[in-house]
Structure 1
């Protein structure tokens, strides 16, 4: 029976790069983890061992660092598009490029006594603390004609201490869960969203940084303002809020693990627990996943 080489790609994964802007005493930092994957005319590399069509992964790594200096990093999305276009448009055997980026945020350390701070500021100009809220993510795909951008975030932990219920569900012989009419709702949000932007000639790019900030804002506002009867309902409200407020976004995919909080039985100690003391369980957990997209738009973001 004959064997066929199937879909394949290669590249340099997890290129850690920190770009420091020193244009003034108030420095700026971009901290990225960039992974490059290339697809194209690479059959001979696999089948015969010929490297004539192989761009070394070390070269892709060097390109990431060189482009950080040459073009700068305004946003993860823009940097990813620049890299993807370069690899496809400048290297003949490469037909498609996928760039995945994680961006790590840093906050300025507030040091009133710092001599390096700008006049009138309470922030040090060159001192930062890693922001622990979430990781910003980006995936860019380019096939020589169209660009596809999937932005996102992960590890954004949120909690509502009330305004959440869960009852009226199916009960069978194995159901032991008690109905809840006032519970903690907590999750660790992974969100990804696509844009209508396709990189056509003359098409203006979205303001990537502003869109990220606003999508995150709408996700958080929907989580906080939804009186929830299930995490599924909250997921739908979060995705809908983004689409209602960001015209450039076509699809939102959310993965919401239910970070369960169980009331502790304090009766052995002669104490009442009136929704005050909980056990926070990290495993096992319910995993709620779903996509909200505009009518007529074909979803493209796969489940992880």
Structure 2
């Protein structure tokens, strides 16, 4: 039997980094989580234990901190690009860098230096860069919780001997959206793009009379592609946060779609992608 080394990478996961910019008495806060993964000439470290080609994961962590001080942190996509390009350009044994960043929002609550953790979604990005000059940027968000209290139906599905679900023409539709969108170019106004993609997702969710969560997912992805030319693909993960009507008849009460039980599990999970017909190859971006 012959054995060979397969694809591999290594890195530093979840480097927590908070950057405070002091503009006189007004402070600005950036709170991010940085994960880097590197690959390249790593056969020796796996086969013999030689670390000669390895940039330590601790160094990757320190680079993130140092770059935050030297270059600042504005849009997370730009900071990820800066790190990924540095790792590949500075180390001949590193051929590919992947940098993933989550950003946590804080809202000012008075004065110049007081904040409260925002209840909004988490902003995300993943950047790839290799020594051949290929670069990709995937922006995104997670935990964007949305709900329509009506204008949603579910019926006409397959019924077999195990089906107990009743069809409905008026239900609550709720989900926590995880969305990732691929940019056609690694250069963009990422802040503006993020804000407008987010608004497109919300507008489509609110404006779609839904016969299925899949239909809503497709409408949301389509709205993004129609409104944002810099985006070539959208991938979404949308759990169906079920709301079941409570039977109040034992208490002598009716319940005309007013009182619901919000179940957290099990839940339906809908996943899908929407992309332009001429979108460039996606394999590199989604690794």
Which range, TM-score by smaller chain? over 0.9
Conserved in 2, the CA contact under 8 Å of 1:41 and 1:93? yes
Confirm or deny that 1:180 pairs with 2:168: yes
Confirm or deny that 1:281 pairs with 2:263: yes
| Partner secondary structure for residue 132 of structure 1 | coil
Structure 2 Cα separation of the partners of residues 126 and 249 of structure 1: 36
Which residue is 1:70 aligned to? 70
State the Cα distance separating 1:169 from its structure 2 match: 1.2
Which residue is 2:231 aligned to? 249
Matches within 5 A, 1:10-159: 10-109=10-109, 123-144=110-131, 145-159=133-147
Conserved in 2, the CA contact under 8 Å of 1:293 and 1:299? no
Deviations 1:86-132 (A, max 9, x none): 000110100000001000010111xxxxxxxxxxxxx3211010012
Which residue is 1:167 aligned to? 155
Structure 2 Cα separation of the partners of residues 233 and 46 of structure 1: 47
State the Cα distance separating 1:24 from its structure 2 match: 2.6
Gaps of 5+ in 2: none
State the Cα distance separating 1:302 from its structure 2 match: 5.4
Which residue is 2:213 aligned to? 231
Which residue is 1:113 aligned to? none
Deviations 1:252-281 (A, max 9, x none): 001000000000000011100000000000
Structure 2 Cα separation of the partners of residues 124 and 191 of structure 1: 34
2:197 to 200, 205, 215: 215
| Partner secondary structure for residue 111 of structure 2 | strand
State the Cα distance separating 1:23 from its structure 2 match: 2.3
| Partner secondary structure for residue 262 of structure 1 | strand
| Partner secondary structure for residue 121 of structure 2 | strand
Number of equivalent positions? 284
Deviations 1:128-186 (A, max 9, x none): 10012110111000012011111100011100000101111111111111111110000
Q: Which consecutive segments of 4 or more residues in structure 1 shift more than 3 A?
A: 298-303
Gaps of 5+ in 1: 110-122, 199-204
What is the root-mean-square deviation of aligned Cα atoms in Å? 1.2
Which residue is 1:270 aligned to? 252
Deviations 1:271-295 (A, max 9, x none): 0000000000000000000000001
Confirm or deny that 1:192 pairs with 2:210: no
Structure 2 Cα separation of the partners of residues 26 and 243 of structure 1: 38
Structure 2 Cα separation of the partners of residues 163 and 273 of structure 1: 18
State the Cα distance separating 1:299 from its structure 2 match: 4.3
TM-score by length of 2: 0.97
Structure 1 Cα separation of the partners of residues 178 and 59 of structure 2: 32
